[in-house]
Structure 1
Amino acid sequence: MPQPKVKLVVTGDDFGYCLRRNRGIVDCFQAGAISNVSLLVNASSAKDAADLAKRHHMPIGLHANLSEGLPVCPNLRSGSTLLNDDGFFHGKMGFRKELQNGQLSMSEVELELRAQVKLFCELTGHLPHHMDGHQHVHVLPEVRDIFAQVLSDYGIPFTRVPVEPGLLTCPWLPPTLREFYMQVEKDAKDSMGTFRRHGIRWPDAYLGLTTMGNNMSIANIKRAIGNALDAVSSQEGEVTRDCETPAVDQPITMELMVHPGYPSDPQQGGCGQGPDDFSQSSDRQHELDTLMDPRLLAFYKQERIQLCAFKDF
């Protein structure tokens, strides 16, 4: 067989969020539409997800969560700086606000991250093959240093650096979301040096910010892959390479972040507070249908794009 042009990790995030999300992710994996999953260990259906990963031999990593639901570390379930007045994590934007105001204890961040790695091992029987952050908290200032140290200590070799080529050229993103994504990218770029110093790796290109929910389409996935190929080939702009230019004819590595599934039932799922609107929306089904579309799978084959896991890099 000819050498693939691209090795693409298609990661189903939020595995464990609810039973319907789990079922959709497994359906995608069995159809060859995703090749990797990222587990939320504090989610309501985490054990079911881990059992499914074992049964279906799914490559699995840890989706470390510091922003939604409840901590898994018993010592942080009351009186912790990571919790709001209701006893839950501060939320996607709340976490960032508390961090910016200097209100978060980094020692508590480290305790929770290590507790989540430990629980992951208990659920799956092995260390994560990769580890990233739910809602991209792992690239935030200060947090990134703790995150990289934890990965290094456990020998977890891969993470996610969410810098997507072509983000600025996507007119369909609303201004508020675009502003958030640009901040995520700035934090991600600033995190690269920290990850490099700890020997942590990531794919040559990241995709997924511009193809979430109803923005996912075959055309948009093709566009995102094309932008990434152009960026990596030119070695300019928004490329996030963690190594030197590969030898000629070596495949380019990419990760596509996706959130397929069947919409959550209103009273089932989540990380302690019930499922959010994103999980209950039809966007989950839309992503699943797009990823499983035979035309997209045919495109991968035609363009020599091999779906794989991090361990295949």
Structure 2
Amino acid sequence: MAAVSENATTQTGAISNVSLLVNACSAKDAADLAKRHAMPIGLHANLSEGLPVCPNLRSGSTLLKDDGFFHGKMGFRKELQNGQLSMAEVELELRAQVKLFCELTGHFPHHMDGHQHVHVLPEVRDVFAQVLSDYGIPYTRVPVEPGMQACPSLPPILLEFYTQVEKDARESMGVFGRHGIRWPDVYLGLTTMGDNMSVASIKRAIGNAMEATPPGDGMVTRGNEAQAMGRPVTVELMVHPGYPSDPQRGGCGQGPDDFSQSLERRHELDTLMEPQLQAFYTQERVQLCAFRDL
């Protein structure tokens, strides 16, 4: 599964599921590309970067800074912590993004998660779960990654952020579960993102997943125990394959962010297309699938 897809990865089978930022400048082109290659597609709901989709929130909204753009990854969290965000406006924007997704793709999202993991934040998670339930969107992402704390390549500031994301994600499970929303047994991607991605790091992450206690669907068996019982272990590997963006083009109205402009996305693309990785999948009987296949 992946957050962003490029033509090369779809054709080689390196990814099996994509997510769409509907407020991005190239959203229509991305949706058309997914249609052309019959790629399963979900919604990457965005409340933190760029411009809102809902016309009623274009000015004077608690979700926006004075310049009319969302508050940003950390700004959104700060405003939420200070009690400055309207959950009614969060709901309006989420519903508007689902509607636009349907217009672009011709169907409801097969899954829906949150850009920069805002969907697991306190208060937001309740609104998010209700929207998914109302539209019958059955799957989401719960970003709890086995072995993350022991990853030496993560700088302290990122580890601190990811640790908080994991805490919020664990606290969101009960909310999602009460609404009948499901998620894969294991989530991976924080320790294998950008320059940290390699065939070796993906192998290590999948190995950790097989030994971890999976949080998905309320299961309590470990990965290897689930296999022994004949139940496949479902794993979401978050990836961002692509090419460095032109600094003057793309993004969600403010231009592409630093990660989009970096060579790290191309590095992910090259890694995912490595024959060695494909051979590993075959050897370990890893079958790439989509949320709709779960």
Same fold (TM > 0.5): yes
Residue number in structure 2 paired with 1:194: 175
CA distance in 1, matches of 2:110, 2:292: 7
**In the alignment, what sits opposite 1:31?**
12
Q: CA separation in 1, counterparts of 2:136 and 2:8?
A: 30
- Give the TM-score normalised by the residue count of structure 1: 0.91
Q: How many residues align?
A: 288
Q: Which residue of 97, 100, 110 maps to 2:78?
A: 97
1:285 and 2:285 correspond: no
Counterpart Cα distance in 2 of 1:248 and 1:259: 33
CA distance in 1 between counterparts of 2:164 and 2:186 reads 18
1:167-204 residue CA offsets vs partner (Å, 9 max, x unmatched): 01101100000000000000000000000000000000
Distance in 2, matches of 1:219 and 1:67, equals: 32
Please tell me the residue identity of whatever aligns with 1:159. Answer: T
Matching residue's letter, 1:89: F
Q: Out of 138, 146, 156, which is 2:127 matched to?
A: 146
Report the counterpart of residue 210 of structure 1 in structure 2: 191
* Equivalent residue, structure 2, for 1:77: 58
Determine the C-alpha separation between the residues in 1 that align with 2:67 and 2:173: 34
Matched, 1:240 2:215: yes
TM-score by length of 2: 0.96
1:309 and 2:284 are equivalent in the alignment = no
Alignment of 1:1-313 (within 5 A): 10-11=1-2, 13=3, 15=4, 25-231=6-212, 235=213, 239-244=214-219, 245=221, 248-313=229-294
1:82-108 Cα distance to aligned partner (Å, 9 max, x none): 001111000000000000000000000
Residue identity opposite 1:87 in structure 2:
G
- Does 241-250 or 279-288 show the bigger shift? 241-250
The 2-side partners of 1:243 and 1:276 are apart by 36
- Report deviation, 1:312: 1.2
- Give 1:249 deviation, angstroms: 1.4
1:61 match: secondary structure? strand
* Cα distance per residue 1:9-50 (max 9 Å; x no partner): x21x1x4xxxxxx6xx22111111000000000000000011
Structure 2 distance, partners of 1:29, 1:211, is 20
Q: Secondary structure at the match of 1:62?
A: strand
Q: For 2:247 and 2:216, how far apart are their aligned partners in 1? A: 41
Q: Which amino acid aligns with 2:105?
A: T
Matched residue type, 1:309 = A
Q: What secondary structure sits across from 2:287 in the alignment?
A: strand
What letter matches 1:52 in structure 2?
L
Q: Which has the higher contact order (CA 8 A, sep 6+)?
A: 1
**1:243 to partner: Cα distance:** 3.4
1:226-281 Cα distance to aligned partner (Å, 9 max, x none): 001001xxx3xxx3121345581121001000001011011110000001110000
Moved segments of 4+, more than 4 Å: none
Percent of pairs identical after alignment?
Answer: 80
Structure 2 unaligned blocks of 5 or more: none
Partner SS for 2:43: strand
Q: CA deviation digits over 1:279-301, x for unaligned, max 9?
A: 00000100000000010011001
RMSD after superposition: 1.0
